[in-house]
Structure 1
Amino acid sequence: MESSKPKKHIWHKNNNWTEELNLLKEIIAQTELVETTKWGGPVYVLDGKNVLGIGGFKSYFGIWFFNGIFLEDKKNVLINAQEGVTKSLRQWRFSSKEEVSESEILAYIHEAIANEKTGKVIKPAKKEALVSVLLQQELDNDPALAKAFQQFSASKQREFQEYIEEAKREPTKLSRMEKIKPMIMQNIGLNDKYK
């Protein structure tokens, strides 16, 4: 009979950092975080939200904090592995077990937990509203079309706007406008057939 307990992550036999990663796991186990497996490795969550993960790589092993940007980083150990790409994730890399300080790691983890409890997260940037002048003119001139258009969600309205504005030439914009008018009247979203 299978156990109802979640399976713990087992390190691949080729991983050079088994002992070191198990040490990190022992440190994290002292906190209220719950171990899960995501993206093929251990990720630790609080109330279902990702707080940190650990892993071993070719030349280092480490901890990554999903909202590490909010950590004070008093020891100046956190790095952004993909500058300009990664917004809030920060890594703490180690090259040997001797670099691992239980008290320092626990301090960072407790701060990450406190930040999670207060809801510190980076909100995804909202897309700038795209307005198609051509579509707006059609809506202004045809109240029935405007009423039908308002029945769509904001994202579906944006799809129609983008569809027209992505065309480079005016004749293409006009032909696209003629194509979507019956769709709008029939309450058919631009990409409904793909969903």
Structure 2
Amino acid sequence: MSVYDPRVDAYIEKAAPFAQPVLNHLRELVHKHCPDVEETIKWGFPHFEYNKRPQFHMASFKQHMAFGFWLGGIMADPLGIIQKDEKNAAGSLGKITSLKNLPSDKVMAQYIKESMKLTDEGVKVKKAPKKAATEMEVPDYFQEALNKNKKAKAAFEKFSASHRKEYLEWITEAKREETRLKRMEQALQWLAEGKPRHWKYQ
């Protein structure tokens, strides 16, 4: 029996008007062809799980939407509609701006059922080995700011190289001085709270 999550209702209600009919349609298709699906919210986006394993996800942005298959990279995809992610086994339908961008309901049903079949067969995604993050040099101006904030400095030094790099890239890639200072201020606040750069999506 399908399990609906009221948080998904709230997500769709907050989406842009052009996105709402598409998100609702995709949601209906998933529940129609995957009766045992369970909804949840992960990383701020609606996800659909089948047999306790992630199957599909959808997201709304300012000018487009996305619908992804967790097993998209290993699905047959005879029509070539899935854009595969080289970093993992996921895949998506690309940028969606209206119902016209979606494959037919018949095709969507076919792909939804194939994803379920792979899950029933116990097919699992093989994760690519993680590459060690290269250590990035801390700019003098940020090091000085860290030295003045003991909590932020302690958290920054405890973080992994990859987490430190996320903060440093965010700060150093600012094109304007004003932007860089704002990012530094925000970074120090989050670090003092022990939060990584992308804590909102975890």
What is the TM-score of this pair, normalised by structure 2? 0.53
Runs of 4+ in 1 over 4 A off after TM superposition: none
How many pairs were matched up? 121
- In structure 1, what is the Cα distance between the partners aligned to 2:63 and 2:81? 17
What is the TM-score of this pair, normalised by structure 1? 0.55
- In structure 2, what is the Cα distance between the partners aligned to 1:62 and 1:8? 18
Instruction: Tell which structure's C-alpha radius of gyration is larger.
Output: 1
In the alignment, does 2:25 pair up with 1:26? no
Q: 2:109 aligns with which of 96, 100, 106?
A: 106
What amino acid maps onto 2:82 in structure 1? L
Shift of 1:62: 2.5
- Range with bigger deviation, 33-42 or 21-30: 33-42
C-alpha contact (below 8 Å) 2:88/2:127 kept by paired residues: no
* Aligned CA-pair RMSD: 2.3
* Structure of higher RCO (CA pairs closer than 8 Å, 6+ residues apart): 2
- In structure 1, what is the Cα distance between the partners aligned to 2:116 and 2:53? 10
In the alignment, does 2:39 pair up with 1:35? yes
1:172 alignment counterpart:
none
- Matched-pair identity in %: 22
Q: Which runs of 5+ in 2 are unaligned?
A: 131-202
C-alpha contact (below 8 Å) 1:70/1:120 kept by paired residues: no
Aligned residue runs from structure 1 range 27-176, under 5 A: 27-30=29-32, 31-32=34-35, 33-80=37-84, 82-83=85-86, 86-93=87-94, 94-100=96-102, 101-125=104-128
Q: Which runs of 5+ in 1 are unaligned?
A: 128-195
C-alpha contact (below 8 Å) 2:68/2:90 kept by paired residues: yes
What amino acid maps onto 1:103 in structure 2? K
C-alpha contact (below 8 Å) 1:70/1:115 kept by paired residues: no
Superimposed CA distance per residue, residues 9-58 of structure 1 (whole angstroms, 9 cap, x where no aligned partner): 12253534111111111111102222111111211101211011111223
- In structure 2, what is the Cα distance between the partners aligned to 1:56 and 1:28? 17
What amino acid maps onto 1:109 in structure 2? I
What amino acid maps onto 1:98 in structure 2? K
Structure-2 change in CA distance of 1:116 and 1:59 (3 Å): same
Structure-2 change in CA distance of 1:6 and 1:25 (3 Å): closer
